[in-house]
């Protein structure tokens, strides 16, 4: 039995893969499903910690506690050395990551029926844009966390390269492929030569023509959809009696997954009481105040994410904001969503164009664009990338599983069939 696995610790979802002849690569982590949402809920009412879908279910059912999501976004930032309060006690963010990665390891071992000593961890091309030092810190922190939960031998692989290995296992001829991995926190790209004759090579460095990435992912699309469509209902963009704009920090914190809990401080509550008194539209800011008082920021973020997903399949959608006071049904339009996120699409465009330039490859030479990552379902994003490579075939992988499956292949290569 292989004791080496691949772990895709994602911003939104996580998977674990292991090479098992005759069996799917991905292990079941929750309710028979291979994905475990990267969510932790500290349930204060029942004094227990929940993970994944169970965590979201408890939170949405109204249990008291702290919900933490988008944990991967902490890596490489100054927040990683900070802490949050859970049930009146300080919880360091590093320990929070250990809680989650440890649970992923425990569940994967339970599913496989044996322990894993060796792991290939997926990582984005850049954890942090334009800072090699912060990027190294992020990788070192993730390695430290993995070691703390019992992994003895640790290696890393770029997530789009892992997705390339998964795609390569299914093709019958050599191709030049752009791997577009659009995750919850980053958009990563690799230009790779793939083919059946290359799969057994121990060293694939020469097959990788270029890699690139940008710190833009699904949570950023959530953020700007929220700011453009939802936060104005709570007073975003409105003014005080002296004609100054209401501070935007409240809204940005609530619209950004990993900073939502920063809105729940006593200082924020005190400030908002003053803002409501001096606001030109106090009823809107009052909605914001009540939302924060009820700690319903994650509920709102989930509603926004639901709307974003709905817009991937339709030109319009609506979301029921029934916990606002008064409740509201909000109509969303895809064209408005695309206008609000145009600057994100521009950054992705530039990243792909730079990648092609770095590789010295013309757009017409690329055979295939392989889309993976849950956020590659954003229609405008796929269209932009597709338009840059009009002659290339467009192939959709397992949006949530290609990376984990590819990491499993890489773990078997790096550590051997029995692991290290």
Stretches in the chain below the pLDDT threshold 70: 1-2, 199-204, 417-420
What values do phi and psi take at 281, rounded to 5?
A: -120, 70
Residue 158 and residue 156: Cα distance in Å, rounded? 7
pLDDT of residue 202: 60
Rounded CA gap, 355 and 371, in Å?
16
Residue 119, CA distances (Å) to 39, 83, 147, 188, 250 in order: 21, 27, 10, 21, 40
Q: What is the C-alpha separation between 225 and 355, in angstroms, rounded?
A: 28
Would you list the domain boundaries of the chain?
Answer: 4-174+399-415, 219-340
Alpha-carbon Rg for the chain, nearest whole angstrom, is 22
pLDDT of residue 203: 65
Q: What is the mean pLDDT of the chain?
A: 91
> Could you please report the per-residue DSSP string of 288-341?
HHHHHHTT-HHHHHHHHHHHHHHHTT-SEEEEEETTSSS-EEEEEEHHHHHHHT
Residues β-bridged to residue 154: 119
Q: Is the pTM of this model over 0.75?
A: yes
**What one-character-per-residue DSSP string does 127-175 give?**
SSTT-HHHHHHHHHHHHHHHHHTT--EEEEEEHHHHHHHHHHTT-SS-E
Q: What are 30's two structure tokens?
A: 């929750």
Which residues on neighbouring strands pair with residue 314, listed in sequence order? none
Sign of CA dihedral 55, 61, 64, 68: positive
Q: What is the number of helices (H) and of strands (E) in the chain?
A: 13, 17
pLDDT at 381: 92
Start-to-end C-alpha separation, the chain: 12
pLDDT at 257: 86
Beta-sheet strand order (sheet of 175-182): 208-214, 187-194, 175-182, 368-372, 393-396
Strand arrangement, sheet containing 65-69: 48-51, 39-43, 65-69
354-377 b/e with 16+ CB inside 10 Å = b? ebbeebebeeeebbbbbbbbbbbb
Q: How far apart are CA 229 and CA 206, in angstroms?
A: 46
Measured between alpha carbons, how far is 3 from 145 in angstroms, rounded to an integer?
Answer: 19
**The predicted structure's pLDDT at residue 397:** 83
User: Could you confirm whether domain 4-174+399-415 is CATH 3.30.420.40?
Assistant: yes
């Amino acid at each position: 039995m292989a004791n080496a696995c691949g772990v895709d610790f994602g911003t939104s979802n996580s998977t674990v893969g292991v090479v098992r002849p005759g069996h799917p690569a991905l292990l079941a982590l929750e309710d028979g499903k291979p994905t475990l949402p990267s969510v932790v809920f500290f349930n204060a009412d029942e004094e227990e910690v929940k993970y994944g879908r169970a965590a979201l279910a408890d939170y949405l059912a109204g249990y008291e506690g702290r919900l933490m999501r988008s944990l991967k976004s902490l890596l490489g930032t100054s927040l990683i050395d900070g802490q949050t309060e859970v049930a009146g006690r300080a919880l360091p963010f590093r320990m929070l990551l250990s809680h989650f990665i440890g649970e992923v390891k425990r569940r994967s071992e339970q599913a496989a029926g044996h322990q894993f000593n060796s792991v290939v961890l997926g990582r984005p091309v850049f954890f942090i844009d334009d800072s090699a030092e912060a990027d190294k810190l992020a990788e070192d922190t993730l390695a430290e966390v993995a070691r703390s939960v019992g992994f003895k031998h640790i290696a890393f692989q770029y997530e789009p390269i892992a997705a390339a290995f998964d795609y390569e296992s299914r093709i019958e001829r050599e191709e030049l492929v752009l791997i577009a991995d659009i995750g919850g926190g980053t958009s990563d790209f690799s230009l790779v030569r793939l083919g059946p004759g290359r799969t057994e090579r121990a060293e694939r460095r020469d097959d990788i023509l270029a890699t690139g990435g940008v710190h833009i992912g699904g949570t950023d699309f959530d953020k700007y959809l929220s700011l453009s469509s939802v936060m104005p209902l709570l007073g975003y963009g409105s003014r005080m009696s002296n004609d100054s704009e209401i501070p935007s920090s409240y809204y940005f914190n609530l619209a950004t997954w990993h900073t939502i809990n920063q809105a729940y401080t006593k200082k924020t509550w005190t400030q908002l009481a003053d803002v409501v008194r001096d606001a030109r539209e106090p009823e809107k800011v009052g909605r914001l105040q009540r939302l924060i008082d009820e700690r319903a920021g994650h509920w709102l973020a989930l509603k926004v994410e639901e709307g974003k997903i709905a817009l991937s399949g339709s030109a319009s959608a609506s979301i029921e904001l029934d916990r606002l006071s008064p409740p509201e049904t909000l109509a969303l339009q895809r064209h408005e969503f695309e206008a609000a996120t145009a600057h994100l699409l521009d950054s992705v465009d530039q990243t792909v164009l730079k990648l092609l330039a770095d590789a010295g490859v013309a757009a017409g030479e690329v055979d295939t664009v392989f889309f993976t990552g849950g956020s590659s379902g954003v229609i405008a994003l796929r269209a932009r990338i597709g338009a840059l490579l009009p002659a290339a075939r467009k192939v959709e992988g397992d949006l949530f599983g290609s990376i984990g499956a590819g990491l499993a292949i890489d773990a078997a290569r790096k550590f051997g069939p029995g692991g290290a």
